[in-house]
Amino acid sequence: MKVAIYGQYYKKEVAIYIKELFRVLEKNDIQLMVELAFYKLLKKKNTILKDFNTFNSNEDLKNVDVFLTVGGDGTFLRSITYIKDSNIPILGLNVGRLGFLANVQKNRIEEAISSLLKKDYTIVERSLLQVHTSPQMEALEDFNVALNEISIVRKNSTAMITVETFLDDEFLTSYWADGLIVATPTGSTGYSLSCGGPVISPTSKNMILTPIAPHNLNARPLVIPDETKIKLKVVGREKRALLSLDSRIMTIPNNVDVYVEKANYTIKTIQLHNQTFLKTLREKLLWGEDIRNL
């Protein structure tokens, strides 16, 4: 088995778990590659002492069986910029905070690797959102998809923006708000949830439109089929707004039309049999923790 490892940051308190991960992988004779910047960071901190092959792009990931992220959900989301359409399944080790996507707990590393080797897991395919603009923006040419959500929000102003929204070329409404989120089922437990959006199963064939702090109080989150083609346009006193694809942010002028649709490929995620979506909901959202349910 060949495993690629990716992380974005280093904290002293997680070094012990990173060392444990490398120890378990090497003990099982798993071939390793480490993302170049993360590798340099680990070597600088003396967290790893051996030399490993590195990768720095999607082209370097040939013959990789599993892509393993070390961090939180942000690290997991960023990993798709390497995975792209390669169909390499992702497993996330959670050394961060919430961990909806990176749901292997740091004290269960050996158990998780054992499940990988025994193929005791399920592959869950997660849909992506793809965005393009008219006129086309150079910042989107290299990678224009998101696993969680695409959002348009106000920039450098306390004034609300108006987001004109069309579904399959039919006008829906103008959201007068701080912004608008278009979320995937995976993203339903992220930014959209914080803004009052619904939680939906990651395998649902839907998208969610969730306004951010809308002034028109009858504006509510809307669940739509994932084959819907969405067109968004910002109008308002400010000349620019922010366009966010997961954690990647760029500035867009108001005269740009933003088109959002489901991407033509999916991301494969590894779900260990002891960590289902419903179990993650119960653990992370504390469902059932009310003492009246005990």
* Cα–Cα distance measured from residue 57 to residue 233, given in angstroms and rounded to the nearest whole number: 33
Sequence-distant (6+) residues with CB within 8 A of 46 are none
State residue 77's pLDDT score. 94
State residue 12's pLDDT score. 86
- Single-letter amino acid, residue 25: L
- Name residue 205's beta-bridge partners: none
Q: Which residues are known to be catalytic?
A: 73
- Coil, helix or strand for 183? strand
Q: Per residue in 225-277, pLDDT tens?
A: 999 999 999 987 878 999 999 989 999 998 899 999 999 999 999 998 877 88
pLDDT in tens, the chain (294 residues): 999 999 998 888 889 999 999 999 999 999 999 999 999 999 999 998 899 999 999 999 999 999 999 999 999 999 999 999 999 999 999 987 767 898 888 888 999 999 999 999 999 999 999 999 999 988 888 889 999 999 999 988 788 899 999 999 999 999 999 999 999 999 999 999 999 999 999 999 999 999 999 998 889 999 999 999 999 999 878 789 999 999 899 999 988 999 999 999 999 999 988 778 888 888 878 887 666 655
Terminal-residue alpha carbon distance, the chain: 43
* Cα–Cα distance measured from residue 71 to residue 9, given in angstroms and rounded to the nearest whole number: 8
State residue 75's pLDDT score. 93
Domains of the chain: 2-120+273-293 (3.40.50.10330), 128-264 (2.60.200.30)
- What pTM value is reported for the model? 0.91
Q: Given the DSSP bridges, would you call strands 248-253 and 240-245 parallel, antiparallel or unpaired?
A: antiparallel
State residue 131's pLDDT score. 97
State residue 151's pLDDT score. 97
